[in-house]
Amino acid sequence: MKKIVLATKNAGKVDELKALLKDHDVTVLSLLDLGYEPEIEEVGMTFIENALIKARTIFEEYGLLTIADDSGLEIDALDGRPGVDSAIYAGHPKDDQANMDKVLTELKNVPQSSRTARFRCTLVIIDEAGQEHVVHGKCEGRILDEKRGLNGHGYDPIFYVPEASLTMAEMTGAEKNTLSHRRKAFDQLEKMIEKLLKS
């Protein structure tokens, strides 16, 4: 059975990948499973740079097929911010409420028509030969001027998806899973892994 390392300590992400690959003869390992304790510094200027940093660090350590991701929110009226700083936009420690409040303050005088935004997810896969592969996913929407919904996390309560007529935080887990940037990236990831397993 082939081992795949997901370069994260986030149990939710690991469960998502396990569910995606349940029909394949693979074992998905997290950094916790491997006993990897250091924090990998995400010093890249883009999602792909951060994902590459994580994937390369873990691949060099273990030599196993490695997957890493980076994701965040891009708001057009803020020149793409918060971007790679999405998780810590309002500073340390990470605070979802403070991050949303900062965005809403910065967009205070911006009309709804100009509040377009998207969630992006970049996934990097390094195969056992050391070849790097990249897939992307995105979900288009706009930023509301108030929070709506109690589900999800991060910026979900202010991110409105016209396709669903709901914010991400108003969606059920199943609804979000069909539309999210992470789901779209993971769907491409599955196709990539299928190719790698056959090769």
Which residues form the catalytic set?
70
Q: How crowded is residue 73: how many other Cβ atoms within 10 Å of its Cβ?
A: 28
Residue that has been written with the tokens 């897939």 in this structure = 135
Cα distances (Å, whole numbers) of residue 169 to 2, 177, 179: 36, 12, 13
Whole-number Å distance between alpha carbons of 199 and 193 = 10
Q: How far is CA 120 from the centre of its chain?
A: 7
CA angle 6–11–17, rounded 5-degree value: 50
Whole-number Å distance between alpha carbons of 40 and 58 = 9
Closest by Cα among 11, 28, 14 to 193? 28
